[in-house]
Structure 1
Amino acid sequence: MEGGSQRRTIRATPALLKDLRTLRVLVFHPDDADGKQLTQQLQRIGCQVQAFWPPLPTLPEGVDVIFLAVRPDSIDVGFEWLKAEEVPTIIAVVTYENPTIVETVLHIGSQAVLPSPVRSFGLLSALVVARQVHGEIKSHVRKVRKLEGKLLGVRRIAEAKGILMRTRQISDGAAYDLIRDQAMSKRVTTEEIAAAIINANEILSLGKR
């Protein structure tokens, strides 16, 4: 299992390297030596780079990566874009370490950390690793949502079967067969038929309360 995961990572790496020139990158960093070095190195890699300080309250569309300077003067800034469902890859740029800085790095969901002073060595690796981690997180989120959807569907079918068993005095198997047959005849999923049964039961139950 572990070997398969490693092989998938190795196969993904060339694609990540190839896609670097298509990345839209925001650099939220003061216009100092580190900020200039970071911007220049990203441009040499081929990324499409824009630099701002202080950080923007809202993000332009299509941003893939954010390099964010985590500094005492920016720690208390609430970034609304962090609350969005789809957040770009975030790489924290830190000048020094203390518990508050580390806590902030974790709070913003950084996928990599770039230490200051910024050097050309290590930047490419941080970018590729962060993109890899970000992609894996998104993949896991999609899988979790898919599983949650399946679980919800199972629960709805179980509830719909219970309604049919009570109202029609039929067995569990017969109730499921009825749901399945309706789904096939209407060319919809069994989950949709189950949801319709539950909704209809709730409507019919209103007058009995």
Structure 2
Amino acid sequence: MRRSIALAESPTAPHYGQRQAKQAQAPRSTLELFRHLRHACITIFHPEDENREVLTQQLHRIGCQTVALWPPVAELPAQTELVIFLLDAQASAKKKLPWLTPESAIPLIGVLDYENPTTLETATALGCHGMLVRPLQAKGLLSTLILTMHHCQQLKTLRKRNQRLEEKLQAAGEISAAQAMLAHARGISATEAYKVLREQAMLKRVTVEDIARALLQTDGLLSNPAKPR
């Protein structure tokens, strides 16, 4: 396997996950994305040729650190914060690469030889957040990088929001079921049953959801006793 590694002279960037965790609470502005990009470590999976030379030179001008490799490897360099990779005719085989997925937390930019519905469909299916077309040029690269990072950030925000909504819906269902069970067992109203759950939560310093879940689990154990062997 041939490898070519080029590192720009800039301060060592902290690990991607650590840097992103600090910024996860609120979307970053374009200026913040640009400042972040100037010290980001970018991994490039592209054969050593004029296209890669143009790409690495422009990234160095921006201030990025770059690691250039070919062919692609399964494990990304530890500090990778964005990946640019050649999306060639054998791109479908790259689906086995663990970092190449629509759920990727790292921004992905695919490099195409030409644009058509098939290649674009492949790029989106693989999880690309942005695209470049060969022959690569310095012009427009910065815009692509910023928009790609913004797109990836927006997707992560939406996923987290959806996850929170799903958790809330599940918790609401558990509370409702616990209310009904408690109301039936004690002969009280649903409102009174909820007050009991809330009082127990405050007493034990846990959430109402935790009390409801524990109550349902206890009822499940009592309703399905283990059979003697």
What is the TM-score normalised by the length of structure 2?
0.81
| Superposed counterparts of 1:1-209, under 5 Å | 12-78=29-95, 79-83=97-101, 86-207=104-225
State the shift of 1:67 in Å.
0.5
Aligned partners of 2:74, 2:174: CA distance in 1, in Å? 41
Q: Secondary structure at the match of 1:54?
A: coil
Flag the 1:98–1:83 CA change in 2: closer, same or farther, 3 A. Answer: closer
Cα RMSD (Å) of the superposition? 2.0
What percentage of aligned pairs have identical amino acids? 36
What amino acid sits opposite 1:170 in the alignment?
I
> Which structure 1 residue ranges, 5 or more long, are not aligned?
1-7
Flag the 1:54–1:72 CA change in 2: closer, same or farther, 3 A. Answer: same
What amino acid sits opposite 2:113 in the alignment?
T
What amino acid sits opposite 2:195 in the alignment?
D
- Report what 2:17 is aligned to: none
- Pairs aligned (count): 201
Post-superposition Cα deviations, 1:189-208, rounded to whole Å, max 9, x if no partner, equal 10000111011101111139
State the shift of 1:48 in Å.
1.2
Q: Secondary structure at the match of 1:81?
A: coil
State the shift of 1:95 in Å.
0.9
Paired residues of 2:43 and 2:82 also in contact (CA < 8 A): yes
Post-superposition Cα deviations, 1:79-136, rounded to whole Å, max 9, x if no partner, equal 2223595531011111112343222111121111111111110000000010111111
Aligned partners of 2:46, 2:119: CA distance in 1, in Å? 15
Which one is further off, 18-27 or 173-182? 18-27
Post-superposition Cα deviations, 1:11-65, rounded to whole Å, max 9, x if no partner, equal 7111111111221111011111111211121111111110111111122333211
Paired residues of 2:43 and 2:77 also in contact (CA < 8 A): no
Flag the 1:191–1:62 CA change in 2: closer, same or farther, 3 A. Answer: farther
What amino acid sits opposite 2:143 in the alignment?
S
Between Structure 1 and Structure 2, the one with more helix by share is: 1
Q: Secondary structure at the match of 1:50?
A: strand
Aligned partners of 1:29, 1:163: CA distance in 2, in Å? 61
Q: Secondary structure at the match of 1:37?
A: helix
Post-superposition Cα deviations, 1:152-198, rounded to whole Å, max 9, x if no partner, equal 11111001111112222221011100000000111111000011101
Paired residues of 2:115 and 2:133 also in contact (CA < 8 A): no
Superposed structure 1 runs of 4+ greater than 6 Å apart: none
Which one is further off, 75-84 or 93-102? 75-84
What amino acid sits opposite 1:61 in the alignment?
A
Q: Secondary structure at the match of 2:93?
A: coil
Aligned partners of 1:173, 1:65: CA distance in 2, in Å? 51
Aligned partners of 2:149, 2:161: CA distance in 1, in Å? 18
